Amino acid sequence: MLSALGPNSVFALLLLATLTWIAIPFIPAMMELLRPRDAAPLNAVGQDSGKLTFFATSFVERMTSEGLMGTSVPPRLSDGSAVRVHNQATPLEVTKTPITDVVVLMDDTPIVAGTTVASECLARRTFRGGANCTYRAVLGQRDVKLGAGSTVLRWVHANGRLEAAEGTQLMGRATSDREILLEAGVVFDRLDAPMVRVGGGGTIETPILPVSAYTPYVPERAIALGHGYWRVTGNLVVPPDTSMAGSVIVRGNVVVSEGARVEGSLKAHGTMHVKGAAVIVGAITARGRIVIEDGARLSGPVISEHSIVVGASVVGVASKRTTVTAPRVELRSGATVYGAVMAADGGASVQ
């Protein structure tokens, strides 16, 4: 049969067959791009989120091997780096030049305002920093309390609570084994703790009622993609005081109205607005901005390709940590997140 075709036709058929064979592995991805079907919850907690304490853990191992965790502190490390002790008897002196020695804080004596430490700080007890101090890195064996206007250039970790006063800049990683408490006006990149919250206002704890307390709701003009999976071509508004079961992909914008409940995940090609007293048991993702009003309650990850605003609401649960991830994240007074907050282009706590 091929012999009856000309050379150009044979070449065209062979080229077409080759291109088709190469394209076969990409067909599922192209179909998902054109007609998204995936509506399952996202379990990821952001890029390298599981390693946010890597520097702190490595520092502890190094300081332990160097003997800085013992009763006596050596004057130098094995690589020749000088070690300086800070306590009530021998506090750090105020200098115009940065302190380049490794600093070991032996007691709760505060660091004087305006001090700059260009090396690591190891606090054997509670770390108390003065206002407008700058640190390369801080490790607190107990609580870490950063004064107003402080700057941490690389990382800070507290085995207890980490408190950041107004005007603090947390550049890099800020982690705690217990809780991170931010005052308004704190700038951050990556936070991770069992609980992250912004003080100055109380978190509104919306009670989670049984599904029977709501009016059932099924999205209009929704296309069923499978059991419990839907796609909506336009916008989606979940009415107040209703309950929607299932995960939904929305080609437009999403509004979860006051007091509504969603049992499943929501994905929006546009923006997403979760109003007060709404409950979402699942993940929410959007290409546009996500706004979570005061009193809302979400159990799963919150991910946006644009920005996220979290009001005096709760994201995640104490027994299962989650993540809030976007290029820009704004945590308002009373916001509570159980897990990680990742802001690639910068996050901030506001009143």
Q: Tokens standing for 111? A: 């660091």
Same domain, 246 and 147: no
In a domain, 253, yes or no: yes
Print the domain residue range for 65. 49-177
350: Cβ–Cβ under 8 A, 6 or more apart, which residues? 184, 185, 330, 331, 332, 333
Distances, alpha carbon 186 to alpha carbons 121, 171, 174, 332, in Å: 21, 11, 12, 11
Q: Where are the alpha helices (DSSP H) in the chain?
A: 7-23, 27-34, 54-65
Same domain, 157 and 221: no
Beta bridge partner(s), residue 245 = 263
Same domain, 343 and 251: yes
Same domain, 127 and 230: no
Same domain, 240 and 342: yes
Same domain, 222 and 325: yes
pLDDT tens-digit profile, the chain (351 residues): 545 556 667 666 666 766 665 655 555 444 544 454 444 434 333 444 446 677 788 888 888 888 887 778 888 999 899 999 999 999 998 888 999 999 999 999 999 999 999 999 999 999 999 999 999 999 999 999 999 999 999 999 999 999 999 999 999 999 999 999 999 999 999 999 999 999 977 777 777 788 888 999 998 888 888 888 999 999 999 999 999 999 999 999 999 999 999 999 999 999 999 999 999 999 999 999 999 999 999 999 999 999 999 999 999 999 989 999 999 999 999 999 999 999 999 999 998
Same domain, 76 and 162: yes
Alpha-carbon gap, residue 105 to 92, rounded angstroms: 10
In a domain, 159, yes or no: yes
Q: How many domains does the chain have?
A: 2
Alpha-carbon gap, residue 283 to 46, rounded angstroms: 13
In a domain, 13, yes or no: no
In a domain, 65, yes or no: yes
In a domain, 332, yes or no: yes
Same domain, 77 and 163: yes
